[in-house]
Structure 1
Amino acid sequence: MWKLTKIAAVAVGLAAAMSASAGEVEVLHYWTSGGEAKSVAELKKIMQAKGHTWRDFAVAGGGGDSAMTVLKSRVISGNPPSAAQTKGPAIQEWASEGVLANMDTLAKAEKWDELLPKVVADVMKYKGAYVAAPVNVHRVNWMWGSSEALKKAGVAAMPKTWDEFFAAADKLKAAGLVPVAHGGQNWQDFTTFESVVLGVGGPKFYQDALVKLDDKAINSDTMKKSLETFRRIKSYTDPGAPGRDWNLATAMLIQGKAGFQLMGDWAKGEFLAANKVPGKDFLCAAAPGTTTSYTFNVDSFILFKLKDAAAQKAQSDLASSIMSTEFQEVFNLNKGSIPVRAGQKMDKFDDCAKASAKDFVDTAKSGSLLPSVAHGMAIAPATEGAIKDVVSQFWNDDKVSVADAMKKIATAAKTK
């Protein structure tokens, strides 16, 4: 990652003009769309009720380099925001620069270690101390089904194995429907790929091959079978898939034109926005072979070291509010995800969310709660990008053999 000492403080003038006033909390986030913006407004309301001033540092479109450049410049000039939306190994990269605040006093007082599964808590820590606050949990290894399409094709239930999946896909094809709705970005390809690896190989193989990047696992027969299964899924997508956004793929299920989509639980938000009812209009199930495993994507905020005592108090209140039952409920009802803290009441949530919450707890105990590689939770960003490129190349080009893909994944895994 960048080193603070090596980056010119380009925006020092800008930073000075934006210095935080007492009791003010400034938050960099990417939540600018409907339900997400509504959720942030709730957090702002909670903070204002505690007597603090909220300053929005919103960046549309999931951030990008320009947002990071401004953020880095702000940090270099000694004037960081209170918090910034960041996740996965990027949290440790920021922390290694020595710019994040140690939130252990608050975390101990509020028993975060008891409220969070260890595998999630560890992502929020650097050298054993909390430096970030988690907001939610998205389950990535979901498969969605269109009730209308499945009924038309004579598919009685959501498939639990890949053999059942391909049998159902054949029926959908025979009925003139698109068996698998898919889009065209590399993260969509990898969302499918990691669910296949998990379904074919199980949680230990997933850890070895995709998280530990073990050479033996990458070059194994299990990886070979995973890639063969992945390629077979591709044959059930439609010609319009390349370049399609994920939500337009979900729309194909909503319209009854496609049978299945392998996608995280943000897809549920699309169904609900279209007034579709889970269990009636659409179905949710873990991807084939992954019923007892759970790949997670956790949104979080890193918390920067601040000099002003009132700003530190506001920052602590922000972290406390993020972890509060009140915010966890309202945010996740809007986002389609589930609360990250244990013991949260789920009575207002739909059946898919309730199933997700139960599986989150169960897999945390069984050791099959796993970080999503596709969504930046597991490996360094440069390595992740290199492996995603290989997997997408394999998905998009039938000339790339399984053996070649395995060699290329092994090489990409060494990218630093």
Structure 2
Amino acid sequence: MNKTLTAATFAALISGQAHAGNVEVLHYWTSGGEAAALAILQKMMKDEGHSWTDFAVAGGGGETAMTVLKSRAISGNPPSASMIAGPEIAQWGDLGVLAKLDEVATSEGWDALLPKAVADIHKYQGSYVAAPVNVHRINWMWMNKSILDQVNGGQVPQSWDEFFAFMDKAKQAGFIAFAHGGQDWQDATVFEQVALGVGGDDWYRQAFVELDKQALSSDTMTQAFATFKKLKSYMDPGMPGRDWNLTTAMVIDGKAAVQIMGDWAKGEFAAAGKQPGKDYVCATVPGTQNAFNFNVDAFMMFAQKSKEAQAAQQDLSRLLVSKEFQEEFNLKKGSIPVRPDVSLARYDSCAKQSMSDFQASAKSGSLVPSFAHAMAMEPAVSGAVYDVVTNFFNDNDMTADAATSRLVSAIELAQ
């Protein structure tokens, strides 16, 4: 036996153990496709010598997870990392509880890699405090190809008139025309895409990013509410409270024709062994063909006391933005990489279209952040919008005019 090699190996093992740490990660990725994507990160951390404590909080929109996070943080016991999105990062920064990631960001060249609009969201007072992992496109609709072929000759509806004509045909053929899960964040997701499709990206930005009162109280908003309400007649009685991934399964299984949902839905199709163009069709929501409504998933880091925990957290941050993780993770998650140097050779046609549209929208100025997914508004304001949208959707007697008036009032009170 080579004693020198043995001693060196032993020393290396001791060194690795000395720096091995644990990360406790709070997230709400609990569906099949999401869990498969997250498993990649867990394995990579294990390969680095660190342990992982999974802190999963079910609820596709993340509201429950954020409530749990606030409780943990107030008690002085936050996790190492938590999923987060958008303006809420700055609110946590104001509390002075976040860890700075500048050392990792500088060594990995994040500023050169990440689009400025994405990088700035994940900084607090000039320092990175969160690691972005992907770009999700929200304005997608997912159609069962067999149903589309059977009732609509394979033609993808381009306008709302064409869409509702497709809904009528699917309903008459005995299918659930529109697959939806009646939860407030799903209501907001669909309403957001209807609003973008009805009003266009400039009006959407005025209304839901700038919170311009004229745009919020406009006839366009009333038309968006009316179009949104019209979808309800094409839904099934089991809609209330249904999780989004169970709703996606209805399209996968050929029970429903179409679902409007962000591209994380594609992860469910992939997990079921389905292929775009063969089993399902991805297409932009009517009227949104030239816009890109997005959110970015990220992991925000909380300050840690021990050197081992800090080292593990820094490694986690590095891995999240690494080219290897970005490629493998987004293949399973359904999203596209946040860094532009990742090869899309292994990605499907939906992802390639998404990346092409993302880059085109970035150049044309038609990128719009998702208010339904925490990218456009402060939490108090988006919560007020959620309430108005879901109350309107569930109240058969409320008119679109009344919903518009309530939206304006709710946003004014929340600001």
TM-score by length of 1: 0.87
Do structure 1's residue 60 and structure 2's residue 57 form an aligned pair? yes
Counterpart in 2 of 1:13?
Answer: none
Pair 1:104–1:158, CA change in 2 (3 A): same
Can you list the C-alpha shifts for 1:9-50, whole angstroms capped at 9, x where unaligned?
xxxxxxxxxxxx854242322245544444444323333444
Do structure 1's residue 89 and structure 2's residue 87 form an aligned pair? yes
The alignment partner of 1:120 has SS state of helix
The one of 173, 181, 184 equivalent to 2:182 is 184
Alignment of 1:2-401 (within 5 A): 22-30=19-27, 31-50=29-48, 52-62=49-59, 63=65, 65-75=67-77, 80-401=78-399
- Structure 1: stretches of 5+ with no match in the other structure: 1-20
Q: Distance in 2 between matches of 1:165 and 1:174?
A: 14
Pair 1:236–1:35, CA change in 2 (3 A): closer
The structural deviation recorded for 1:156 is 3.1
Pair 1:100–1:170, CA change in 2 (3 A): same
1:23–1:53 contact (8 Å) kept in structure 2: yes
The alignment partner of 2:131 has SS state of strand
Q: Which moved more, 1:323-332 or 1:250-259?
A: 250-259
Pair 1:245–1:42, CA change in 2 (3 A): closer
Q: Distance in 2 between matches of 1:282 and 1:385?
A: 33
User: Size of the alignment, in residue pairs?
Assistant: 391
1:253–1:259 contact (8 Å) kept in structure 2: yes
1:22–1:308 contact (8 Å) kept in structure 2: no
TM-score by length of 2: 0.87
The alignment partner of 1:235 has SS state of helix
Counterpart in 1 of 2:12?
Answer: none
2:20–2:50 contact (8 Å) kept in structure 1: yes
Q: Tell me which stretches of 4 or more aligned residues in structure 1 moved more than 6 Å.
A: none
Q: Which moved more, 1:195-204 or 1:360-369?
A: 360-369
1:43–1:322 contact (8 Å) kept in structure 2: yes
Q: Distance in 1 between matches of 2:117 and 2:149?
A: 39
The structural deviation recorded for 1:310 is 5.0
The structural deviation recorded for 1:290 is 0.8
Q: Distance in 2 between matches of 1:256 and 1:307?
A: 52
The structural deviation recorded for 1:220 is 1.0
The alignment partner of 1:238 has SS state of coil
Pair 1:244–1:38, CA change in 2 (3 A): closer
Pair 1:82–1:253, CA change in 2 (3 A): closer
The structural deviation recorded for 1:331 is 1.5
Q: Distance in 1 between matches of 2:334 and 2:81?
A: 23
The structural deviation recorded for 1:152 is 2.0
Can you list the C-alpha shifts for 1:286-307, whole angstroms capped at 9, x where unaligned?
1011112111122111122345
2:270–2:332 contact (8 Å) kept in structure 1: no
The alignment partner of 2:282 has SS state of strand
Q: Distance in 1 between matches of 2:100 and 2:242?
A: 42
Pair 1:177–1:91, CA change in 2 (3 A): same
2:266–2:333 contact (8 Å) kept in structure 1: no
Q: Which moved more, 1:288-297 or 1:169-178?
A: 169-178
1:153 partner letter:
V
Q: Which moved more, 1:306-315 or 1:269-278?
A: 306-315
Aligned CA RMSD, in angstroms, stands at 2.2
Pair 1:205–1:274, CA change in 2 (3 A): same
Can you list the C-alpha shifts for 1:326-370, whole angstroms capped at 9, x where unaligned?
111222222222211112111222211221122222222222222
Q: Which moved more, 1:126-135 or 1:402-411?
A: 126-135
Pair 1:38–1:251, CA change in 2 (3 A): closer
The structural deviation recorded for 1:284 is 0.3
1:149–1:253 contact (8 Å) kept in structure 2: no
Can you list the C-alpha shifts for 1:68-121, whole angstroms capped at 9, x where unaligned?
32243235xxxx543222222221111111222232343233232332222222
Pair 1:310–1:390, CA change in 2 (3 A): same
1:100–1:131 contact (8 Å) kept in structure 2: yes
Q: Distance in 2 between matches of 1:154 and 1:41?
A: 39
Counterpart in 2 of 1:410?
Answer: 408
- Structure 2: stretches of 5+ with no match in the other structure: 1-17, 60-64
The alignment partner of 1:242 has SS state of coil
1:58 partner letter:
F
The alignment partner of 1:74 has SS state of coil
2:25–2:52 contact (8 Å) kept in structure 1: no
1:68 partner letter:
K
